[in-house]
Structure 1
């Protein structure tokens, strides 16, 4: 039914914008600390906070500093933190075995966080690129990124993360069939309550560059990821990927990148009515920060406005590097 609007001057829409109280009462969407997941980069060493040059304000942290960040996140009311490793190049191999090492960076960080703040949800990344000498999310054999062999490795990675105490598994690899294989392995190994937040619609995007710097994958990558990440021109394919992952056992779904794909977020929420998330990726963050640092925009206002766009599009939450800054603002 179309909205009924009286003619002017009976209707004056500006009446509802006349004061902060009225604007607050009639606001259609809200941004809350509960909507935030904070992506954090973990590296080796101790007592280290190393700036990422292409992401102003973001650092790589040693495990002890990641635990401190997790304590801060919990104090701010942020419900979840997501870990991404900056793996020593000496540990990057063709077989990617470090990915499921129980004592790799992420698994040590998970255990440290759960010991310090057990109520904070810990999300992980499941993909081979941080451990792959070729920089790809899957095994490269004779120049081809191999699907089924990769899925078998991702399952081992998933179980190792669950054993370490991960609450949310985040498969970002875009291999076919991996959600079903992961769900089956989690069930078989007694991790029935571990949640899968699948990167179901992950596009082959130009917005990932600073992230690859942050995890040390830029120099390692050979070729591109277009044979497994999605074409930016496709919408219906994203819906098929969402449907497939839900059928295979995903509890929540992700669209990545975020702001350039709000139409996808909106359609996912409308068509499937499932918990829907987006990742405000490194390139989006870097653009806002760079413009703010140059005085071209009001960084705080644009940061909040960009996150409200996700909520307006239907997202239940957002992975964003702005999480602690936003939480402080929202907490007053």
Structure 2
């Protein structure tokens, strides 16, 4: 027979367990300035562990390759190797993603880095494509993608040309993943897409990160509702992670007052209300980005506990 004390203990334990067990992914901005700085590395990894992040997406790998050391140079890349091993062995990080803008980056830099390592703990196990083909200004004449990738490769500078380049990059990443001697996921960041596009994109990806940039979880759901419906009706069923932005113009203010658990629960409740929760393979949430989120979480913790780290 349960006593009052044992019932209270069971209740406290149940309240301490998250209602939803989705995974959390963290975009790590300014990684070039973090890597090799032990104090900054530990601060990042402690933050990830304390807030139940299981995956990291590393930005600025191209800058590291151009300005610090060639990623595949085993005489110089030990600082990256050490970071990845430390993250996995001591801080509960299960996945580390390399983020890039084109398939060529993974061919030239990331796949050679992985090929030079034998321990799976030292390798990237997610290839993340960060290329916003749906943005008119970037893909058209004079835009960043047009001038950096499309025009010089004889590809039309418009949405169709940019989408085809994006899809080709995913195909390259998928092939590299298949050729690897360790398991690698491919994932794609998407802010907008058509039904015909998601059907083809999802065939080349294990996970899709959907931009839910807004100032509250309810508004984030409104932003992604149409896209989630398209995924629910697509031919393939990729894993889905919704992105919340902790930038000032988006959810920074809300994050100052609400925990990550509360925000995620509110979003999932919106999905359930709209009968979409069981129609897609929602595996969790992605937060953009570390710098803004760290500050917001510190503010929320201080308001709740009176303790500031």
Instruction: Name the TM tier (shorter chain).
Output: 0.5 to 0.7
Given the alignment of the two structures, is residue 202 of structure 1 paired with residue 217 of structure 2, yes or no? no
Distance 2:306 2:81 in 1: 27
Given the alignment of the two structures, is residue 169 of structure 1 paired with residue 176 of structure 2, yes or no? no
Contact kept? 1:123, 1:169, Cα under 8 Å: yes
Q: 1:98 aligned to 97, 104, 125, which one?
A: 104
Structure 1 residue 24: Cα displacement: 0.9
Distance 1:119 1:265 in 2: 34
Unaligned runs of 5+ in 1: 1-14, 86-91, 187-194, 208-229, 304-332
Q: Secondary structure at the match of 2:93?
A: coil
Which residue matches 2:172?
A: 156
Which residue matches 2:131?
A: 128
Q: 2:240 aligned to 237, 244, 253, which one?
A: 253
Q: Kindly provide the CA deviation profile for residues 240-269 of structure 1, in whole angstroms up to 9, marking residues without a partner as x.
A: 13314xx33233111112766765444177
Give RMSD over aligned pairs: 5.3
Which residue matches 2:226?
A: 237
Structure 1 residue 116: Cα displacement: 1.9
Structure 1 residue 170: Cα displacement: 0.8
Cα–Cα, structure 1 residues 151 and 37, in superposed 2: closer, same or farther, change >3 Å?
A: same
| Higher RCO (CA < 8 A, seq sep 6+) | 1
Cα–Cα, structure 1 residues 299 and 264, in superposed 2: closer, same or farther, change >3 Å?
A: same
Distance 1:135 1:17 in 2: 61
Structure 1 residue 181: Cα displacement: 3.5
Given the alignment of the two structures, is residue 81 of structure 1 paired with residue 96 of structure 2, yes or no? yes
Q: Secondary structure at the match of 2:295?
A: helix
Q: Kindly provide the CA deviation profile for residues 48-69 of structure 1, in whole angstroms up to 9, marking residues without a partner as x.
A: 5379x9xx84886754333222
Q: Secondary structure at the match of 2:170?
A: helix
Q: Secondary structure at the match of 2:292?
A: helix
Q: Kindly provide the CA deviation profile for residues 85-116 of structure 1, in whole angstroms up to 9, marking residues without a partner as x.
A: 5xxxxxx8xxx5634x5222x32444456x22
- How many residue pairs end up in the alignment? 237
Contact kept? 2:129, 2:189, Cα under 8 Å: yes
Which residue matches 2:80?
A: 66
TM-score by length of 1: 0.50
Unaligned runs of 5+ in 2: 46-57, 65-70, 72-76, 134-138, 246-259
Cα–Cα, structure 1 residues 25 and 236, in superposed 2: closer, same or farther, change >3 Å?
A: closer
Distance 1:171 1:27 in 2: 33
Q: Secondary structure at the match of 1:234?
A: helix
Q: Secondary structure at the match of 1:272?
A: coil
